[in-house]
Amino acid sequence: METPTKVRSHYDVIVIGGGPAGSASAMLLAERGLSVLLLEKDQFPRYHVGESLTGTAGDFIARAGLTEKMAELDFPAKPGVKVVGREGAEFFVPVLRPTWQVRRADFDHLLLQLAISKGVEHVQGAAKTVLTEAGRVVGITVATANREDGDAQAVRAAFVVDASGQSVFMSRQELAGPRRVAAFNRQIALYSQFSGVASDVGETHNSTVIFYRDTYHWSWLIPVSSEIVSIGIVLPTASYKLRGGTSKAAMAWGLEHMHPELTQRTASATQVEAMHVSRNYSYRVDPFVGPGWLCVGDSHCFTDPIFSFGASFALTEAQAAADAIVAAIANPAAEPDLLAGYATYCNRGQGRAADLIRYFWKFPAFFAYMTKGQHGGDLIRLLAGDCFTPEPLAATIEMKKSLEDSPVLHRIPEGRGRDIAARIYERFDFFQGVDAAFLDLSEGVMIYFILAEDDIDLYDSLRDFEEQLVSDFGRDTLAVLSFTPDIIEAMPPLDNAYTIVDRRRK
Amino acid sequence: MDATSVNQALKGFITEKLLHGDGADLTDHTPLLEWEIVDSLAMVSLLTFVQKTFGVTIPDAEVSPRNFQSIEALQNLIVNVAQDRPEAADGDTNKGA
């Protein structure tokens, strides 16, 4: 247990969570002269996944004066990302600016210590509830490690930052919106750290390597020190069940079958960290700002981690959050506009990253071509984390066009029906577990899904999707019906329906 | 380059090589990518076919889902590229799509 720390009754800002989002927000606020309490429930250092950083994170590290520390901690300098598919498809995207591969236990601890050195008060403890007055968040109740009696202490603040990560504190407190799955990605990730992994040679030495196989089957290989490599295997839920349904079996399957290079490089590897598992993990929380509070990083958005944006985006958002909070405390009347601006900024970056990832999964061969063509430079910038620029890069516009424009939609008459179809279409590349989707406009808007299997997670995802449709398009004559293979006879004839997707054709 | 002959050649190739002869439902607007008729392997063989048959090399920048989403889109792409590089085309370059 840590030495008991006395928590004061009032701070300018309370930051919940001591990961990169929390530590960066806290240190930037403290540097601007604000009193900051940072609450972290875990004793650091602690394991965390997300070990590769992008160029924008490299900038942050350089500005924070941590460059020498990175070398001292034996964090490998990252030359870029190598993406390896089947049939020899391979491309390498160099980093735009110096950045690193890190062991998050040590990196997050480093950032936390830096925050403390800037005057942030760090307390090990958990946020319990939110204090509100007239619709404004004015503080939280805190249970600290040295108050095991269960009595939470009230702490007030002019502003509260939720950097609680996957705990989505403000969402669970029902101040932020509900945590919604961002897509129909029912995936499982298994990951650990290994020694004895053969290293890459030449310009790709110490690169992140992404091996991909069929859609949503991929794995990462990230050297996190001169000895240790992080390896993760990501599979759709259905595929995971097929491979035996245990993390050990799925990891073994992945190392053997994801790609020959992965198999070769891990032939004499030894696992040196516990096996970790994450399920169904992409989500968004919206809204994620409000009077007296905002969310940073994973506490409002977590996307498919394939391009390692997580920790870097947390640092980028933390800088925008600190600017907004400092300005809002100085001029309370401007707070609503400042928070709206912050939300727009975050949504812009997260949205462009999501488009990049969707495009990669939907059109992997075209993605590889794009790295060689006129948009190659833009892709390097986007993968470096430059997703927050005021105007989209040309590559983003090009990718969006391909994602939104489809002959599937051209055949549907313009209007509410087509708009709804476009929304389904936008999601269909994530429709794991769905065999087909149809849209019938003869009476209102009827949406039919044929499910690949009877699965509770799938029903949850569909209900969630229906709620989103209803909130965007209204309940009026809108229905979503789903059928499993065993009750397919109960489905009405779909002679007049439009096919959005039908995988049974193959 | 004649748009109709490009269209017919594309339909022939897709029916024979990608649909194993079953091209009864294939139209100019069939979604080739969504319905997974053209995947990454098929894309490479399509590019080779276009090069061999029409003498047209599709520039990397034009290898985009927009241009591969349907037979109509592919046909327009081939005709336009041939027009921009008449020396590569094998015939009348005055006809557009």
pLDDT at position B87, please? 55
Highest mean pLDDT pick, A257-271, A445-459, A491-505, B81-95: A257-271
Instruction: Enter the tokens of residue A100.
Output: 């690193």
Q: Is residue B50 part of a domain?
A: yes
Last residue within a domain, chosen from A346, A366, A397: A346
Q: How many CB pairs under 8 A join A and B?
A: 58
Q: What is the DSSP letter of B58?
A: P
Residue A44 CA to residue A487 CA, distance in Å, equals: 52
A36-40 and A121-133 beta bridge pairing: parallel
Structural domain tally of chain A? Answer: 2
Structural domain tally of chain B? Answer: 1
- Cβ–Cβ under 8 Å, residues A237 and A432: yes
Over residues A407-426, the mean pLDDT reads 86
Q: What phi and psi values does residue A93 have, to the nearest 5 degrees?
A: -115, 110
Q: Is residue B97 part of a domain?
A: no
Q: Judge: A372–B60 Cβ closer than 8 Å, yes or no.
A: yes
Name the residue of chain B whose CA is nearest to A367's CA.
Answer: B64
CA distance B69 to chain A (A): 7
Q: Judge: B60–A373 Cβ closer than 8 Å, yes or no.
A: yes
Q: How would residue B96 be classed by pLDDT, with cut points 50, 70 and 90?
A: very low
Q: Is the pLDDT of residue A467 over 90?
A: no
Instruction: Enter the tokens of residue A109.
Output: 């601890």
Q: Is B65 on the interface with A (CB under 8 A)?
A: yes
Report how far apart, in Å, the C-alpha atoms of A5 and of each of A17, A23, A37, A123, B63 are: 17, 18, 11, 6, 61
Clarify whether residues A137 and A35 are in a common domain: yes
Residue A227 CA to residue A368 CA, distance in Å, equals: 31
Clarify whether residues A34 and A140 are in a common domain: yes
Q: Write out pLDDT tens, residues A346-368.
A: 999 999 999 999 898 888 888 88
Q: Is the pLDDT of residue A458 over 80?
A: no
Residue A441 CA to residue A485 CA, distance in Å, equals: 23
pLDDT at position A181, please? 76
CA distance B65 to chain A (A): 6
Q: Is A373 on the interface with B (CB under 8 A)?
A: yes
Q: Is A6 on the interface with B (CB under 8 A)?
A: no
Q: How would residue A1 be classed by pLDDT, with cut points 50, 70 and 90?
A: very low
CA distance B93 to chain A (A): 26
More confident residue, A233 or A501: A233
- Give A373's contacts in chain B (Cβ within 8 Å): 59-61, 63
Q: Is residue B96 part of a domain?
A: no
CA triplet A10, A138, A176: central angle to 5 degrees? 135
Q: Is the pLDDT of residue B89 over 60?
A: no
| DSSP string of A15-34, one letter each residue | EE--SHHHHHHHHHHHHTT-
Q: What is the mean pLDDT of chain B?
A: 83
pLDDT at position A147, please? 61
- Cβ–Cβ under 8 Å, residues B88 and B16: no
Domain containing residue A485: 407-505
pLDDT at position A293, please? 98
Q: Is residue A330 part of a domain?
A: yes
Q: Is residue A261 part of a domain?
A: no
pLDDT at position A150, please? 64
Nearest to A407 among B36, B44, B69 (CB): B69
> Which of A214, A359, A406 to probe by mutation at the B interface, max B CB count within 10 Å?
A406
Q: Is the pLDDT of residue A323 over 70?
A: yes
Range of lowest pLDDT (A92-96, A343-347, B36-40): B36-40
Q: Is A431 on the interface with B (CB under 8 A)?
A: no
Q: Is residue A29 part of a domain?
A: yes
Residues 6+ apart with CB under 8 A from A172: A179
> Which of A366, A411, A428 to probe by mutation at the B interface, max B CB count within 10 Å?
A366
State what percent of residues in chain A have pLDDT above 90. Answer: 64
Q: How would residue B93 be classed by pLDDT, with cut points 50, 70 and 90?
A: very low
Q: What phi and psi values does residue B72 have, to the nearest 5 degrees?
A: -60, -45
Clarify whether residues A121 and A15 are in a common domain: yes
Q: Judge: A505–B40 Cβ closer than 8 Å, yes or no.
A: no
pLDDT at position A257, please? 93
Domain containing residue B9: 3-21+29-88
Q: Is B45 on the interface with A (CB under 8 A)?
A: no
Comparing C-alpha atoms, which of B7, B76, B63, B34 is closest to residue A406?
B34
Over residues A18-46, the mean pLDDT reads 98
Q: Is the pLDDT of residue A109 over 60?
A: yes
Q: Is the pLDDT of residue A416 over 80?
A: yes
Q: How would residue A149 be classed by pLDDT, with cut points 50, 70 and 90?
A: low
Clarify whether residues A30 and A117 are in a common domain: yes
Neighbours of A219 (CB within 10 A): 25
Last residue within a domain, chosen from A346, A367, A387: A346
Comparing C-alpha atoms, which of A54, A42, A20 is closest to residue A298?
A20
Q: Is the pLDDT of residue A28 over 80?
A: yes
Over residues A165-190, the mean pLDDT reads 87
Q: Is residue A260 part of a domain?
A: no
CA triplet A289, A291, A295: central angle to 5 degrees? 25
Clarify whether residues A317 and A430 are in a common domain: no
Over residues A470-497, the mean pLDDT reads 86
Name the residue of chain A whose CA is nearest to B34's CA.
Answer: A501
Q: Is A364 on the interface with B (CB under 8 A)?
A: yes
Q: What is the CATH number of the domain that holds B36?
A: 1.10.1200.10
Q: What is the CATH number of the domain that holds A166?
A: 3.50.50.60
Q: Judge: A373–B63 Cβ closer than 8 Å, yes or no.
A: yes
> Which of B14, B19, B63, B76 to probe by mutation at the A interface, max A CB count within 10 Å?
B63
The ipTM assigned to this model is: 0.80
Q: How would residue A334 be classed by pLDDT, with cut points 50, 70 and 90?
A: very high
Range of lowest pLDDT (A34-38, A137-141, A391-395, B65-69): B65-69
Q: Is A402 on the interface with B (CB under 8 A)?
A: yes
- Give A398's contacts in chain B (Cβ within 8 Å): 64
Q: Is residue A384 part of a domain?
A: no
CA distance A402 to chain B (A): 5
Q: What is the mean pLDDT of chain A?
A: 91
Q: Is residue B94 part of a domain?
A: no
pLDDT at position A185, please? 62
Q: Is residue B52 part of a domain?
A: yes
Last residue within a domain, chosen from A324, A346, A368: A346
Q: Is residue B41 part of a domain?
A: yes
Over residues A257-265, the mean pLDDT reads 95
Q: Is A475 on the interface with B (CB under 8 A)?
A: no
Residue A22 CA to residue A299 CA, distance in Å, equals: 10
Nearest to B66 among A374, A375, A405 (CB): A405
pLDDT at position A53, please? 96
Q: Is residue A238 part of a domain?
A: no
Nearest to A365 among B29, B36, B43 (CB): B43
Over residues A50-66, the mean pLDDT reads 96
Report how far apart, in Å, the C-alpha atoms of A171 and of each of A295, A387, A397 are: 9, 25, 32
Clarify whether residues A431 and A336 are in a common domain: no
Highest mean pLDDT pick, A170-184, A300-314, A404-418: A300-314
Interface of A with B in 252-311 (CB under 8 A): none
Q: Is residue A485 part of a domain?
A: yes
pLDDT at position B84, please? 81
Instruction: Enter the tokens of residue A97.
Output: 């600016």
Clarify whether residues A24 and A131 are in a common domain: yes
State what percent of residues in chain B have pLDDT above 90. Answer: 42
Clarify whether residues A339 and A472 are in a common domain: no
Q: Write out pLDDT tens, residues A67-91.
A: 999 999 999 999 999 999 876 678 8
Report how far apart, in Å, the C-alpha atoms of A429 and of each of A425, A453, A503, B75, B80 are: 8, 17, 11, 26, 30
